[in-house]
Structure 1
Amino acid sequence: MKTIILLPPSEGKADGGDNKPLKSVSGITADLIEAIKEADPQKLYGLKEKALEKAITVNKELLSSKTMPAIERYTGVVYDAIDYQTLENKSEFDEKVLIVSGLFGLVSPTDLIPNYRLKIDKLKAAKSWLNSNSEQLKDKFVIDLLPQAHKKAVKYENGIAVEFVLKKAEKKMPAGHQGKHIKGRFVRWLIENNITDPKHFKDFTEKGYTWTGEVFLKEV
């Protein structure tokens, strides 16, 4: 059974690109682009002034702007920690990782995409993608590193959800921003060591996290 690692996209994205524009799209992506055109920008993006203007412009140019591989487009903390460019076995990463995008569904690291702006909890994007995404995950073993909003866009029969949790004075809490970095480091470790079985998660002990059999826990 093939192993798939599910990651969220990053809100931060690189501008530009060296590859041709998409020019046209179909299906759910096309429907969402139409919905973006009709939506109230302030409600859709939750941004103000220059940031709002940029988001509007980026989405207006979706089909005319240059593209780049998704792994280069996404620039957030998780992707910085993965440090894709220094991976020796990039092909293993490209084969196993899928990114759950609000606009494009399940995206491979090598898929060429433009800059865009759409959170998965807007315009019912997660619900729109659920059936299509879930169909693609049939007969796969999933290592799920998704936040709650993105989990609503997928269903899988075989797999494990991985969370990073902090424990302080007997109280447990999500690792938050720090969790994004360790999530990226964990993905890199999975790829570098060709880990596909959760029984080996106990061997990942970076930054003081320990696998309990259910979550990665760190006492602070």
Structure 2
Amino acid sequence: MLILLSCAKTMAQASPINVPAATVPQFAGKSAEIALQMSQFPVEDLKRLLNVNLKIARQNYQRFQDFHSEDNLPLPAILAYTGIVFKRLKPKDFTEEDFLYAQDHLRLTSFCYGLLRPLDLIKNYRIEGDIRLPEYGSMTLFDYWKPLLTDVFISTIKAQGNLLINLASNEMKQLFDWKKVEREVRIVTPEFQVERNGKLTTIVIYTKMCRGEMTRYLLKNRFSTPENLKNFTFEGFAFRPELSDENNYKFTIRE
């Protein structure tokens, strides 16, 4: 079983957590090229490209200026990202065995680094998938990464039992030839929704919380079959077999 999570937009500069190993991202050379191109954009351009306020644009301008500095120390990806999903994953209480198991069974998408293992060392950045960089012509970063990542991703899934638990956001599918991935391996996508007045609604913050908690549940328990997912519960969210099929598992809560 391989689990896929999205990267987060918020990142830490340091962490007190010790990990048993540190690895180099497979596409480290590509990420260095992307960061170098991003460093050429002035603050106002970054504000527009990243769709952020001036403060965040300035922060990321400095991040890209410092990206290649030896004084800018990287962090393992599982500790570097600090969004809601990663807060719920709670790596601070991972054992050495948990980290090593996650290294084999968890992958993180990244517009800068492509596809990451949890212990891959990365630097702070912020990039969107629809950005078009000067040296890549009319291609978006989605277009750039797709031919590089698809076969690598499929091979990794096959090596881990031919089963992908897709807990990433929908936009991350654009980093891959998703139809090819679907043809080659089995994908199970858990969905988390709130039932209000008889209607099911997706609430982003709940979805992110559940994705982090489910990833933790899978990693801590070392599950290898999707059947185990059906026993997952969190804050009232529970599996709904009547709303699910073999590729889409629905978890709901009633308000």
TM-score interval (norm. to shorter): 0.7 to 0.9
- Give the 3 Å change call, closer, same or farther, for CA 122–162 of structure 1 in structure 2: farther
Name the structure with the higher helix share.
Answer: 2
Match of 1:135 in 2: 151
Q: CA offsets per residue over residues 39-86 of structure 1, 9 Å max, x none?
A: 522221222332221111111211112211111111111111111121
Asked if 1:51 is matched to 2:56, the reply is yes
Q: Give the letter aligned to residue 91 of structure 1.
A: L
Match of 1:147 in 2: 169
For the residue of structure 2 that corresponds to 1:26, the secondary structure is helix
Q: Tell me, which stretches of 5 or more residues in structure 2 are unaligned?
A: 17-21, 133-139, 158-162
Q: Give the deviation of 1:113 after TM superposition.
A: 0.8
Q: Give the deviation of 1:145 after TM superposition.
A: 0.8
Q: Give the letter aligned to residue 169 of structure 1.
A: N
Asked if 1:72 is matched to 2:79, the reply is yes
Runs of 4+ in structure 1 displaced over 4 angstroms?
A: 16-19
Q: Give the deviation of 1:36 after TM superposition.
A: 2.1
> What CA distance in whole angstroms lies between the structure 2 residues aligned with 1:95 and 1:71?
13
Match of 1:101 in 2: 110
Q: Give the deviation of 1:111 after TM superposition.
A: 0.6
- Which residue of 59, 66, 70 corresponds with 1:61? 66
Match of 2:29 in 1: 26
> What CA distance in whole angstroms lies between the structure 2 residues aligned with 1:26 and 1:205?
41
Q: Give the letter aligned to residue 218 of structure 1.
A: I
Contact persistence 1:71–1:110 (CA under 8 A):
yes
* 1:199-214 alignment, distance < 5 Å: 199-212=227-240, 213=244, 214=249
Match of 2:10 in 1: 12
Give the RMSD, CA atoms, in angstroms: 2.3
